[in-house]
Amino acid sequence: MAPRPTPADKFSFGLWTVGWQARDPFGDATRPELDAVEAVHRLAELGAYGITFHDDDLLPFGANAATRDAHLTRFRRALDETGMVVPMVTSNLFTHPVFKDGGFTSNDRDARRYALRKALRAVDLAAELGAGTFVLWGGREGAEYDLAKDVRAALDRYREAVDLLCQYVVAQGYELRFAIEPKPNEPRGDILLPTVGHALAFIATLARPELVGLNPEVGHEQMAGLNFVHGIAQALWQGKLFHLDLNGQRGVKYDQDLVFGHGDLLNAFALVDLLENGGPGGGPAYDGPRHFDYKPSRTEDRTGVWASAEANMRTYLLLKERAAAFRADPEVTAALAMSRVDELTTPTLAPGETHAGLRADRTAFEEYDVTAAGARGYHFVRLNQLAVEHLLGAR
């Protein structure tokens, strides 16, 4: 049986996920609007600990101060009643037509200034609600036509924008870090900072790189055919896994936002193993929210919405159980050793060895039996089969 989620599991959901009305490029909405207050209560009942949102999810675009306050008051009350937290907030810089060529990198300077102002307001909102992370998904920062966008200028403007946001949180004394969410395409033909790698590289150019990390999403990396676990590992390696978006994707196609585990299940298993057991001593390698950014399929009614929310958490917890069993299995331990997985943590050079020492070591080259070494097996298939059988609950 699947274990029941509890707040200690740190599961959070975007308000726009359970609240998605299921309008798609070829179809009208199939579900009515969901009240944010109801979302808080239902998610709390299901065992989530947090809810996240874009500014416009909670406070209607262009609303006046009174309307904003009214919405915010109701929402805060729901948080208080349920104990739910708001670990992350973000700003919608993609829905309104003004952002059609981007927010921070629109060719139109006035649109860029407007985007920055909107983002700064959302930063205030995030701070006000105690969020620790502010996500930057630049879904419209991109182009369809190679000669219509000066990509280097766009990256200048992107950096200018993120630097400004960082200066602002420092100036305000906010305890808030930024997390860039990469995506390769859709809704733009090509989006800037398309993968975990491009965003990591960009961060290294910022004025305050320590304030900016990543919010990688399962499906976004998989839309480029990239291995999500590899991306997360590099983000962790560079100290930049500030937040993450869990969902499911079935290959290189449009952004599906399926339930976590309803896509590449083997990769999801390895991901949970990395997050939960990849830290020093085998503990968690990541202790932030397990955030679901998925869409309940357009075929579902409200009942199906909540069933799908629950499914995300159940699958995560089942994979966590399977990963724990995998790590505890002595056959797995032996197989990992056979595959020399651990040997990779040993530096290639001996302690204190330099290039001179290496070059002087005849056993490393001149006397190395390269033929024999090439004939040795790594036994990776068997190790993977053990993973599959643990995943299937067959061990």
Q: How far is the CB of 265 from a copy of itself (least distance, A)?
A: 5
Q: Count CA atoms within 13 Å of residue 13 on its CB side.
A: 33
Residue 130 or 189 having the CB closest to a copy of itself: 189
Residue 18 or 85 having the CB closest to a copy of itself: 18
Give the integer Cα–Cα distance in Å for 275 and 286: 5
Q: How far is the CB of 387 from a copy of itself (least distance, A)?
A: 5
Q: How far is the CB of 80 from a copy of itself (least distance, A)?
A: 30
Q: How far is the CB of 176 from a copy of itself (least distance, A)?
A: 14
Q: Is 57 among the catalytic positions?
A: yes
Residue 85 or 223 having the CB closest to a copy of itself: 223
Residue 175 or 299 having the CB closest to a copy of itself: 299
Q: How far is the CB of 132 from a copy of itself (least distance, A)?
A: 21
Q: Which two tokens stand for residue 273?
A: 């193993």
Which of 54, 220, 262, 291 is catalytic? The answer is: 54
Q: Is 355 among the catalytic positions?
A: no
Comparing C-alpha atoms, which of 24, 23, 95 is closest to residue 54?
95
Which of 9, 55, 56, 57 is catalytic? The answer is: 57
Residue numbers annotated as active site: 54, 57
